[in-house]
Chain A
Amino acid sequence: MTEVEAGAPVLVPPPPRGRFGAFGGQFVPETVMPALDELAAAAPAALADPGFQAELGRLLRTYAGRPTPTYFAERLTAHHGGAQLWLKREDLLHTGAHKLNNALGQVFLARRMGKRRIVAETGAGQHGVATATACARFDLPCVVYMGVEDMERQAMNVSRMRLLGATVEPVASGSATLKDATSAAIRDWTTHVADTHYVIGSVVGPHPYPWLVRTLQAVIGVEARRQMLAEAGGLPHTVVACVGGGSNAIGIFAGFLSDGGVRLLGVEAGGLGLASGHHAATLGAGRPGVLHGALSFLLQDADGQVQPTHSISAGLDYPGVGPEHSQLKASGRASYTAVEDRQALAAFHRCARLEGLLPALETAHALAAAGELAGTLPADARVLVSFSGRGDKDLDTVLAADAAGAGPDREGA
């Protein structure tokens, strides 16, 4: 394997006018439009530059730890009694989740563009930690906006960001979660747009962000496809990934989009159940609308006001979703399902006890759906799961839920 192959971005040209079918676009105040134009010109040029590719590839390999392995989860497979479960181990990436693929690439790009300051939003804190890490590495000041509710449930990641030199700005407006942190980050960017780059954390936002983040995360799917052929002996029947904004899902799906026989399954946060109204299943229960600069599925009321969401997982607790997911749903190329809090918790415990792996609660949603699917498939089928992050950050949440009676004994490990 050459250095470039180890982590170089997969080049797909930006979609015309930033549209994924009917979705996407640029719905932002005029003040930031010139900066989006600048980014839309600079990003494809940088990503196509062999020097940039080689340097980013080297960083991803020697600093971030790419390629990450794809692992056969033998005991989980035996538990579900059907298809083989294979896990793409993004939890082994530096900082503990796939988020660094994007943050490292964007901060490196911002440096090349001459930007002197970075802002970001974070929900679970993983994107904030990844961005703070990249900013430490590239010596750029970093401000991370985070909802006060999320700061409480992800306190360890707040400390990590501060230790890395970032400023964490609490956001108390609205629902005080990822949606409001994103709005606050966009307002900061609007105010300091000349010298600041906004590192958005998912495949959301105005063009070119959904394309840029997809391009930087596609390495997950490209590696996983090669590894499935080499280690598992063939392509998967289905690729399963959790979807909040949807960056790990788009990243792993990107490697298999042109394999027509491979099914793609996105797993949203079902919270307390779709019927309860307390969930974040945007594609399952929303309809098209505009939030944070893009037209995509959105959880909103009849008057177009964005609705509050709920998930036990802070990283999935978002009322929007990336426009490419809306297009994949509309075209039928991918399908989407929802997993409730209690099912995700059960999958968390099962994975811990059977495989010695603590998954992020976001990842646990994908594991729950993948396990259920595997049980319906024959033993020679393969289900590939994006193991998007590790669960150390979620221990307080899991222990509190266990104490409240929603723990391992309810569904068994």
Chain B
Amino acid sequence: MSDLYFDTPVILLDMDGGSKEEVLRTMAQNLVNNGLVKQSFVEAVIQRENEYATGLPTGDIAVAIPHTDVEHVEQKAISVGILKNPVDFIVMGDDTETVPVKIVFMLAMDEAHSQLKLLQQLMQVFQDQSILNELISASDEKQIKRTMEEKLDALSLKGGEK
């Protein structure tokens, strides 16, 4: 198990992705470039999104949480992408609906069945439109990092948590 990586190189502002696939590819390739995931993660996360969609209709500001199997991950990480214009994702658990997503949280998890606390806190973020609004209004990556760190104590814990 590795420490969780969350820092400005994996926070992407003003993303100008025309399609869901483009957004996923850009974010995933950035994780590859930062040495956090294997090259195979890119196709795997796109394929997984097509198979099991992760769009979440959380309110006016909707999110998506693309992720894939643990074997493509080198170091556990969360990447945040703020989209300039909303991009349609298919709703999780409902193939017939799409949701215009404004924030993508790409999860690179290196161990199954773990990280409960981190994930629970992340869900708290999704469930709070005022925090999501803070994220999309942020002027730079550092501000997003700060906002997220305030909400997720797992991020500031050195050594990570099981």
Chain B binds chain A: no
Task: Give me the interface of A with B, judged by CB distance under 8 Å.
Answer: none
Task: Give me the interface of B with A, judged by CB distance under 8 Å.
Answer: none
